[in-house]
Amino acid sequence: MLANEKAVNQGVAPVTYGQGDRPPRGDYSAARADYTCEQNWSAYTAAEHDLYRRLYERQAAQLNGLACDEFIEAVQHLGKPERIPRFDELSEALYRHTRWEVVAVPGLIPEEAFFGLLAQRRFPVTGWLRKPEEFDYIVEPDVFHDLFGHVPLLFNPVFADYMQAYGAGGLKASRLDACELLARLYWYTVEFGLIQTPRGVRAYGAGILSSAGELRHSVRSAEPSRVGFDLQRIMRTRYKIDSYQATYFVIESFQQLFEATAPDFTPIYRAVRDLPEIEAGVVLPDERRIAAAD
Ligand SMILES: [Fe+2]
């Protein structure tokens, strides 16, 4: 969601990651005005299907004890890992469960387009897959991150409703010039969220679940700070886009997440703007550190 838009003559404007001069990835020339496009499934090569399978199997092998049960149960909906899933087939199954669908996009998309799709219960999934040399780390989200990380929990009814509410809230935040504050909520929940369980903390954030190293780090390492979910605290907290997170926020349940985001954020944005920002990794004096899982 940290995006720079650049003008082009056809399709829609490409979007790049972060504030730097990275060229856009993905073909934006065939995208519709809402940034959706065709998945073009037949264009994936055998080598790409195989790379997807290797990514999938590496992550699936370490889910037990690190990912939350809801994710582990739902990941099977992605189907066999031998092939990159067809978005139309996945959408059919997803719609039956939670009335969500997945739609292809060329890559990163502008905030307004992103929020608009979420508000319509349409999750944008990048069409392209990373290169083999990006097996361990990739800057931009690719089809593996978007599918493996995000789509399973859209089969969970409460989380699915949270995502739609987030999209609707985003459209409103755009009008209130509060997108950066709301982006932090997405970052620390949808991308890098942890959840408390009777057996210790577990991961539910897509950025963690699709990362080879951060899954274990976020749940088991004593190094990062883990604190309880607090909406205003999250909106005040800066985050890192190029390293493991220094702070993770831990929810009690998806219901807690949904309920915390139900109120009108307008007065919350106002309150947050009057308070100092908090650097990633800092634990405030009145906060309780939550322990890593055994
Ligand atoms: Fe993501």
d(CA 171, CA 185): 14
Q: Please, what is the average pLDDT of the chain?
A: 93
Percent of the chain with pLDDT over 90: 87
- Residue 144 identity (one-letter amino acid): F
Extract the tokens encoding 251.
């929810």
230-274: per-residue pLDDT in tens? 999 999 999 988 899 999 999 999 999 999 988 999 999 999 999
Contacts of 127 (CB under 8 A, 6+ apart): 26, 37, 39, 40, 104, 105, 106, 107, 143
**Residue 205 CA, ligand 1 centroid: distance in Å:** 8
162-201: per-residue pLDDT in tens? 999 999 999 999 999 999 999 999 999 999 999 999 999 9
Extract the tokens encoding 97.
């469960």
pLDDT above 80 for 18: no
- Give catalytic status of residue 210 as yes or no: yes
pLDDT band at 85 (very low <50, low <70, confident <90, very high): very high
pLDDT above 90 for 6: no
Catalytic one of 91, 210, 211, 218 = 210
Instruction: Say which DSSP state 29 is in.
Output: T
d(CA 291, CA 294): 9
- Give catalytic status of residue 29 as yes or no: no
User: Residue with structure tokens 């065709």?
Assistant: 38
Task: Give the pTM.
Answer: 0.93
**Residue 286 CA, ligand 1 centroid: distance in Å:** 31
